[in-house]
Amino acid sequence: MPIVNFNSSRMSGLLEFIESLNSWGPRSRELGLGTFEQSLGVPGLAPEDNCFLLEEDGRVRGFSLIFPELPIGRSVLEMGIARDLEGTPQELDLVRRSVDRARHIGAGVAHICVTGNPSRAKMLEAEGFSLVRVYWDMVWSQNELPDQEIPPGFSVRSYQQGDATALTEAQNSAFEGSWGFCPNTVDQIEYRSQMPNTSNQGILILNDGHKTAGYCWTCLSPLNENTRGVIGMIGVVPEYRGRGISRTILLASMEYLRSLDVADIGLQVDGTNTPATRLYTSVGFEKVGELHWFELLLS
């Protein structure tokens, strides 16, 4: 099967393939396809160079996206493959093409996330990848949220136009040194704030007076016939850690998501991050699965 570079003329075929991998209803389909299409325009991605398609008789049967994160020396590989090709030589060819591209653009390491597929994990390990992180997939589906009061002097508000610079600074400060985090640019934050799976109202900022103390970026994800609310990122600026305000912003964000009548609320968290897993468990999140991150050194 030939592997070809993505271009705009192949968009409809790629979206048709993405839909084939999911069991979406009309609402979920619009959300899922719209979000994927817009994700190809994230500043710095350059899909014509960093997106490859596996084709068979003119039909897309697999894809890979190489997200360059050169400030931290890595590229993240995101892949989708037809179910009958999982773990096959055709998928391996797609992996190798993606690794070659990551090496070509100067990344020192490639990361790829696998969710519960032993054949794919074995294929990656045979190719030299190693398991480096296990993330927890967690879901909240209760009827009521715990009570929570906003601490004196603090306030919660939604993201507004003009907040991109302050939010970028807060996010980069909150996650500096965290495994796998690449500092964002203002352009990237502005672009992502306008994607179909998010809204300004769903990006909640916790202020201490006029200072940004923390934030939570929520989004929506298609879930079969329904929609799942997602806690995408939650961060606290270093000087405000240890005050319990992460719980404040988390519950405010969950309250917002519940107002959208989502089926449930999900998140992903590094399983070694004990303070975070303890926080999420304390408000009712339950672990429902794992996501395995594999790493390949390219130098």
Q: Which residues contact 149 (CB under 8 A, 6 or more apart)?
A: none
Sign of CA dihedral 281, 285, 286, 291: negative
- What pLDDT digit, counting tens, does each position of 143-186 carry? 999 988 899 999 999 999 899 999 999 999 999 999 999 999 99
Beta-sheet strand order (sheet of 130-140): 3-5, 51-56, 59-69, 74-81, 109-114, 286-297, 130-140, 264-270, 226-236, 211-223, 203-208, 154-158
Q: What is the CATH number of the domain that holds 228?
A: 3.40.630.30
Same domain, 118 and 146: no
Q: Could you give the CA distance from residue 235 to residue 256 in angstroms, rounded to a whole number?
A: 17
Residue 19 lies in a domain: yes
Alpha-carbon Rg for the chain, nearest whole angstrom, is: 20
Same domain, 282 and 143: yes
Give me the residues paired with residue 79 across strands.
64
Residue 46 lies in a domain: yes
User: Which of 100, 128, 156 is at the close of a domain?
Assistant: 128
Answer yes or no: are the C-beta atoms of 156 and 204 closer than 8 Å. yes
pLDDT confidence tier of residue 120, bands split at 50, 70 and 90 = confident
**Using DSSP, how many helices (H) and how many strands (E) does the chain show?**
9, 12
Same domain, 13 and 78: yes
Same domain, 12 and 85: yes
pLDDT of residue 81: 94
With 0-12 / 13-18 / 19 or more C-beta atoms within 10 angstroms meaning exposed / middle / buried, residue 163 is: buried
Question: Which structural domain, as residue segments, surrounds residue 205?
Answer: 139-290
- What pLDDT digit, counting tens, does each position of 33-68 carry? 999 999 999 999 999 999 999 999 999 999 999 999
DSSP 44-100: T--HHHHEEEEEETTEEEEEEEEEEEGGGTEEEEEEEE-GGGTTSHHHHHHHHHHHH
Q: How many domains does the chain have?
A: 2
Cα 154–chain centre separation:
28
Whether pTM > 0.85 for this model: the answer is yes
In 164-275, which ranges are E strands?
203-208, 211-223, 226-236, 264-270
Residue 172 lies in a domain: yes
Residue 296 lies in a domain: no
Residue 295 lies in a domain: no
Q: Could you give the CA distance from residue 203 to residue 268 in angstroms, rounded to a whole number?
A: 17
Closest C-alpha among 134, 115, 137, 133 to residue 228: 137
Same domain, 123 and 251: no
Q: Element (H or E) spanning 132, and its range? A: strand 130-140
70 token code pair? 């050169």
User: Which of 104, 128, 152 is at the close of a domain?
Assistant: 128
pLDDT of residue 1: 80
Work out the angle between the directed axes of helices 118-126 and 89-104 (0-180°, nearest 10): 50
Same domain, 103 and 214: no
Overall average pLDDT of the 108-125 stretch: 89
